[in-house]
Each structure stands twice: as structure tokens, then as C-alpha cells.
Structure 1
Amino acid sequence: MPTDTVRYGMISTAKIGINAHIPAAVKSHNSEIVAICSRFDGPAKQAAEENGIGRWYGSYEELLADPDIDAVVNPLPNSMHHEWTIKAAEAGKHILCEKPIAVTMDEVREMTAAAEANGVLLVEAFTHRLNPHMRRARQLVGEGAVGDVRHFEAVLAFTSRDTSTDVRLKPELAGGGLWDAGCYSVSAARFILGGEPVRAAGFAADSGNYGVDTSFSGLLEFPGGAIAHMRSSVEQPGTNMGEVIGTKGKIRIPHLFEEDTPLVITNADGEERVETFAGEPRFVVQFNDFSECVLTGKAPEFPPEDGLANTAAVLALYASASSGQITAVERV
């Protein structure tokens, strides 16, 4: 492996890989996507040619067998993360796995064990927590700037453009609004509040009989009494925001994902101030950080155990929605 650059393979031609990961790798100072694959020759060849990638493969197995690939990005559908992350680990590749890391606790544990057994890194690709406004919000909450937190809200909603082909609407691929979008809200709550939820209450709707939730609302109770409200949807107008409310003030995050999003901070007297930020694109930061860990042996800020905790919270929300009962979040 080169001493200054991690060579990545992209497993599949998924849109987030093409639209987000590949452009970010070009801007990264220590990362390069050198190969891409698909289940068939045609899509892989086309994606490689259109994106200036030197090698392409008509199967996932061929890419994993390439000795000149150090790490992979796994943006496959949710149900496939487990299988191909383990196979990548067994091939000696570090893995940057798109969220959600997996869809059962056992899957996450098996993926973690495979990474450890083969001496490779595994990180769940939540990019929003790398943004400067998210990190500042966490700092302010930790410093007591809003007093005791009583409420947190995070919303991520959008409208699926093609319901006939959208993998988010396919139960066999572990689709669903909470798995796809709501997991970001759960991660944001855990990150900003700096703790793990203990109980969950969830409410799901399936508007098209798809077999998955098209809209989901959930509550997570944190130690100390803070309640986080999660809302996700693949059938609602685009909404993306977060807010922390405490006994001495509140912090509003107008957009969880944009790097230059400000924080609107209001004190108990209603006085408002705004903090502004400028940062590198979050996918670039993700590549820089992950590749630094690969190259230097530095421990990732977010190990797979963090993904296990996020999965536990999401599963508790789904269990509550199914049972109609408040559900304990599994401790990890």
C-alpha cells in the first residue's frame, strides 16, 4: 500500500457512490477510487469511463480479489451490507460502509468480528456528524449552554421519485423510511446529546402497501429525562433540521447536512445569536479521516460499536411500532 494514499474500490454503481463518494475522493488529499464494480460488465464499464476510474469489474468478487485495492466503499442496499462487508474484510480490505451499517444486532457483531479477525477497519458512513455545526452543537450542549436538555428533534424527509424501482421501498432489501433516513436522526440525537437512549416509542405508516414504513415518527428517552423526537419519510416534502431545547435555551440547526449551516442559539430571555461555519464537504472529510486511520493506525472516532448502538436504537423504534408498546433499547 502507498504510504500517502489509500486506494479504494467502489462496490456497485449506487447513486450515492457516483454522486457523493467519487467526487469527494477526487478532492481528498489521501484517497483515490481506483476501481468500481457492478453485477454486470456494462454498468461497471460505463461508470468507470464516465468518472475517470481506471479499472472496472463485472462482479463484486473480482474487485475484492484485486491486490491493488486497500479499502472499499460499500454503498449496497441495506440488506447486503452484512454479506459484502464480511467478504471485503476476509479479502483484507478496510471498509467504509454506508449507513445503516446493518439491520440486525447479530449482523453488526459479525461484521465487527470479521474486521477484527482480519486486521481491517470498519466504519459506518454517517457524514452529518462531521459537519462543524453538529460538532459545535454537541460542544454547547456538553458545556450546559442550554441547561438541562428536555427535548431534541431531528427531521429528515423527502419524496421518493420512482416508487417502482426505489430500493428504499423494497422489504427484501431492508428498505423503509426509518432505516434510510431516520437512522440519521437517531445518530444525530445520540451524537449531540452525548449519550445512549434507554426506551423507544415508534409509530409507522405504510401508505402504499410496500411492506416498509414510508413515514415514521419515534421518541427516544435518554438518561436524565431528555426526549428525542425522530421523524423520517420517503413520501413527504423535503425537510431537514434539528433542534435542542433545554431549561436555559435552545439551539436550532436549520440543515443537518450542509457544511455552512449556521446555529441559531436562543437563551432563556429569548435573545438570539447566530454562529456561522465554513468547512470542507463532509464526504471529503470522511475520506480524509478514514484514510488517515488506515495509513497511520489511528483509531477511528466512530468504531463499529457506535454503529451497533445506533442499530439498537433503530430496532427498538421498529419493535415499538410493531408491538404498540414502549420498548427498551438494548444496551451494548
Structure 2
Amino acid sequence: MNKKVRWGVLSTAKIGLTQVIPAMQQGQYSEVVAIASANAEKVTEAAARLGIAQIFNSYEDLLASPDVDAIYNPLPNHLHVPYTIKALQAGKHVLCEKPIGLNPAEAQQLIDAAAQYPHLKVMEAFMYRFHPQWQKAKEIVADGLLGEVKYIHTDFSYHNIDPANIRNKPEVGGGALMDIGCYCISFPRFIWGQEPQRVVGLVHRDAEFGTDTLTTGLLDFGDGRQASLSCSTRMEPFQRAAIGGDKGRLEIEIPVNAPADVPVKLYLQRNREIEEIIIPAYNQYTLQGDAISEAIINNTAAPTPLADALGNMRVIDALVSSAKQGIWMSV
């Protein structure tokens, strides 16, 4: 294996062009060598702008390239599992955008497929986990500075009414819960290192699009521990996460889209006094890319196992089922 993993990118998705590719190009262990799209004009322009050497006009041709070690998959949600499996079959490692699939059955299908290729690494791209602000948050909880943590709450919203946007198309896995609610579910699972026992959800769907535009959920982790979330695609853009214990409270100002060039802040409240914790600027996409690339180079386990992706998918599915039936659902 080279000192840097050679990455190929499937599609000219915005998240790839604006965030992930430029970040991985700054990585110590990763380099982006190829990009594929059926849209010749878009892929040519993207490759020229980002300095990517190889262009492919089909995903299959990129997957077959001997010059590519690993695949970044930012395709629409319904193509996450199919093309990740195709990448594995082509002998490529994969970093796949969240959510890992459309439902738990798809996530399990991927786990089963990946088991046939134990030498290949596959990871869901929850980049926030690699940002030092979340490492610090987990450290604060583990050190007992908040006492016994009893609740974790997340708000996450933006405003999008474009009918052509994939986030407003239910058939490809659009909607607030799948797009951003997955983060709100992942946070408490990351902090507590456990799965919720049961959930209850409330969903409002757009009459035209059919996607959920506002989803609220409550997750019961047992022992009096609760997590709550509210995510929307029709509200003022906002994000915030709070972790509360019997001895303190921690607020994360920008929990998901931490800027790469500006320090971020955590607010630690204890004994009614608030301490502002400054975390230096980091590019969490660079950190994520290097983390999985280093695992590939050293042949160690992927930083986040696929079992975690299945766990998140199960909670999403349970929230949707709960909202439909109007009852608590076991996870």
C-alpha cells in the first residue's frame, strides 16, 4: 500500500465537491485521483476545478480502475448500499455518506456483503465524530464533569423548498429525518455508547413532496436517560446540541457543520457558572478521510464499524413506525 490511499469519487454531488474532496486533498494519508459522472460537462468542470487527474463517464469504469484503492460514495441515499456493494465486489474500500441506506434491511445487506471481503474497510461518513469538539464532549462526560448524564437534546434545521432537490424526494430517501435527523440520533448513541430501548416519534409530511418536513423524537435509553430531537427542512437554519447531567450541562454550539477555518465553542455550566471552551479550527472531513485512510494503510479496523450504521438505521425506522402507529416502538 502507498503512503496515501488513492480515492475515487462517485458523482459530482455537492457535498463531495464543496466539502469532502477539498478536505481529503489536504489529508496526510489520502489523495483524490479520480471522479465519475455520466454528465460529461459537470465531471470535466469539477475535475479541472479541483485538480483531479482522472475522469470517468460511468461509475462502473471508475470502480474497475486499478489506479483507485478506495471509493467515496456521496450518491443519493437509495444508491448508497447498491454502489457500496459494487465497490466491494471491485476490490475497493468504501467511505459511504450517511445514512448508510434506506432501512435496516439494506444496512444488514451491506454488513453481510462486507463480511465476504474482510480485508476491505467500509465506513459510514459521520464526520462529526472526528472533530475534537466531540472528542472533548465525550471526555467531559467520561470524566464525570456533568455528573450522571440524563438527557441529550439536538435541534437541526434548514429551509429547502426546491422540488428538484433530492432531499425533497421520498423515493430516493429524502426528508428531514434521513438527511439531518440521522445526526441527532447518532449523537446520544455516540456519547452513551449504547442503543435506545424504545422511541416515540411525531412526523409532519409535506402534502406535495411526501417527505417529512418536521420530525420530533424521544429516545428512551433506560435508567432515566432520555434523548430528544427536532429536525426540519422548513425552518430557519439552526443547529445546537446539549448534554445535561445532575452536576453540569454542556452545550455544543455548532455540532454538525463545524467550520474548518474558525474555532468552535463549547459551553460548560457547573455550579451556575458557565465556562467557554474554545476548540481550535479543524477540518472534520480531513480528519475523517485520514482516519479511514490510515486504517486502510495499516490494515486495522475501520474507526466506526458498520454495526453502528445498522444501529442508527434501526432507530430511524422505529421513529417512522412510531409516528405511523402513534405508539412507542421498541428498538
Q: TM-score, normalised by structure 2?
A: 0.95
1:133 and 1:33 map into 2 onto residues whose CA distance is 26
Partner of 2:83: 84
User: Percent same amino acid among aligned pairs?
Assistant: 36
Aligned to 1:297: 299
Corresponding position: 1:103 with 2:106: no
Q: Distance in 1 between matches of 2:286 and 2:20?
A: 8
- Quote how far apart the aligned CAs of 1:150 are: 2.1
Q: Which residue in 1 is equivalent to 2:267?
A: 264
Checking the alignment, whether the CA contact within 8 Å between 1:138 and 1:192 is kept in structure 2 is: yes
The answer (yes or no) to whether the contact 2:264–2:281 under 8 Å persists in 1 is no
The answer to whether residue 131 in structure 2 is matched with residue 131 in structure 1 is yes
Cα deviation per residue 1:59-105 (whole Å; 9 max; x = unaligned)?
Answer: 11111011110000000011110110000000000000000011221
Residue of structure 2 equivalent to 1:280: 282
Aligned partner letter, 1:217: T
C-alpha displacement of 1:218: 0.6
**Kept in 1: contact 2:292–2:303 (CA 8 A):** no
Give the Cα–Cα distance (whole angstroms) in 1 for the partners of residues 139 and 29 of structure 2. 28
How big is each residue's C-alpha offset from its partner over 1:158-177, in whole Å with a ceiling of 9 and x where there is no partner? Answer: 111x5121101101101110
Give me the whole-angstrom Cα distance separating, in 1, the residues matched to 2:167 and 2:94: 22
- Who is 1:151 aligned against? 151
The answer to whether the Cα contact below 8 Å between 2:163 and 2:209 also exists between their aligned partners in 1 is: no
* Counterpart for residue 328 of structure 2: 326
* Equivalent residue number for residue 54 of structure 1: 53
CA deviations over 1:153-194 (Å, ceiling 9, x no partner): 11111111x512110110110111000000011111111223
The more displaced of 11-20 and 245-254 is 245-254
Matches of residues 77-226 of structure 1 in structure 2 within 5 Å?
77-118=76-117, 119-160=119-160, 163-226=162-225
Partner Cα distance (1:314, 1:225) in 2: 21
Shift in Å, 1:302: 0.7
Aligned length: 326
**Aligned mates of 2:274, 2:50 — CA distance in 1:** 45
- Kept in 1: contact 2:5–2:31 (CA 8 A): yes
SS state at 1:16 partner: helix
Q: CA deviation at 1:279?
A: 4.4
2:157 maps to a residue whose letter is: A
Distance, in Å, in 2 between the alignment partners of 1:195 and 1:279 is: 29
- One-letter code aligned to 1:236: M
> Structure 2: which 5+ runs fail to align?
none
SS in 2 for 1:276: strand
SS of the counterpart of 2:115?
helix
Instruction: Tell me if 1:243 matches 2:268.
Output: no
Q: Name whichever of 91-100 and 247-256 sits farther off.
A: 247-256
Give CA deviations for 1:232-264 in whole Å, capped at 9, x if unaligned.
Answer: 111110111100111112111111032632221
1:116 to partner: Cα distance: 2.6
Question: In the alignment, is the contact (CA less than 8 A) between 2:170 and 2:211 conserved in 1?
Answer: yes
Letter in 2 for 1:93: K
SS at 2:78 equivalent: helix
2:29 maps to amino acid: N
Q: 2-side partners of 1:180 and 1:249: how far apart?
A: 31
User: How big is each residue's C-alpha offset from its partner over 1:201-250, in whole Å with a ceiling of 9 and x where there is no partner?
Assistant: 11111234311101111111112221111111111101111001111121
Contact 2:6 2:70 in 1 (8 A): yes
Moved runs in structure 1, 4+ residues, more than 6 A? none
Which residues of structure 1 form unaligned runs of 5+? Answer: none
Q: What is the root-mean-square deviation in Å for CA atoms of aligned residues? A: 1.3
